[in-house]
Structure 1
Amino acid sequence: MSKATTQQATEQFESMFVAPARNLGALNLDYTEKLVAAQFDAIRALADMGMAQARGLLDVRDADSLKAVVESQQKAGQDMGERLRADAEKIMSLSQEYVQQSQKLAEEGVKAATTAAK
């Protein structure tokens, strides 16, 4: 094989296999990083809320302080529910973005393969 033919084969291999695999790897890594960060944020927020409630229980001295703690726990329960809903929406949004970008990469890969095959 001539040097030009080898160079052309290398370029085709790069465009058809290596570049798409690299792009998909980068997409997967980015998605995983965002997903893990969202999960850590959610866990940290829920743990902080739980600790605050536990500390509130330590302040119970009488019926009035118990009533205040119970009301605080009800509010914290609502806050946790809202936080969980927001976190679920964030993760769904990340997943939808990932699917869209994956489809775009697949389409670009098909175009590159079609062009290289001609």
Structure 2
Amino acid sequence: MSNPTINQVNEQFEKFFGGPARAFAELSINHVEALVNSQVAASQAYTDLGIQQVRKALEIKAPQDVQGYVQGQQEVAKELGERMKGDAQNVIELNRKFAEEAKKLSQQNVQAVSEAASNAK
């Protein structure tokens, strides 16, 4: 094969395989990074909440303190439930965005291949 033919094969390979594979890999890495960051933030929040509760339990000195602590646990449970719901919604939204972007990339690649096939005829 001549040098121009090799260059043309390389360009086509990059256009139809290399470029799309790198774009999808970048999309995937960005998605995993966002998920990990979300999980790290959630873990930190849950850890902080747990440590706060242990500290409050250590402040119990008298029987009436127990009642206040137990009543406070209802608020903590509510807060925890809302936090978990928000974290789950965040993961759902990240996955939805990933699916949309992956679909868009796939459609662009199919369109490029279709156009190339039409031009080759």
TM-score between both structures, scaled by the size of structure 1? 0.95
Q: Distance in 2 between matches of 1:69 and 1:48?
A: 17
List gaps (5 residues or longer) in structure 2: none
Deviation by residue 1:55-80 (Cα, 9 ceiling, x = unmatched): 11111111221111112211111100
Q: Is the 8 Å Cα contact of residues 60 and 66 (structure 1) preserved in structure 2?
A: yes
* Residue in structure 2 matched with residue 104 of structure 1 by the alignment: 104
Which moved further from structure 2: 67-76 or 13-22?
A: 67-76
What is the aligned-residue RMSD (CA, Å)?
Answer: 1.0
Count, aligned residues = 118
List gaps (5 residues or longer) in structure 1: none
The percentage of counterpart residues that share the same residue type is 33
* Residue in structure 2 matched with residue 57 of structure 1 by the alignment: 57
SS at match of 1:60: coil
Deviation by residue 1:68-115 (Cα, 9 ceiling, x = unmatched): 111221111110000000000000000000000000010111112222
1:92 aligns with 2:92: yes
Q: Distance in 2 between matches of 1:3 and 1:113?
A: 24
Matches within 5 A, 1:9-28: 9-28=9-28
CA positional deviation for 1:50: 0.9
CA positional deviation for 1:18: 0.2
Find runs of 4+ consecutive structure 1 residues off by over 6 angstroms: none
Residue identity matched to 1:110? V
* Residue in structure 1 matched with residue 39 of structure 2 by the alignment: 39
1:70 aligns with 2:70: yes
CA positional deviation for 1:28: 0.5
Residue identity matched to 2:11? E
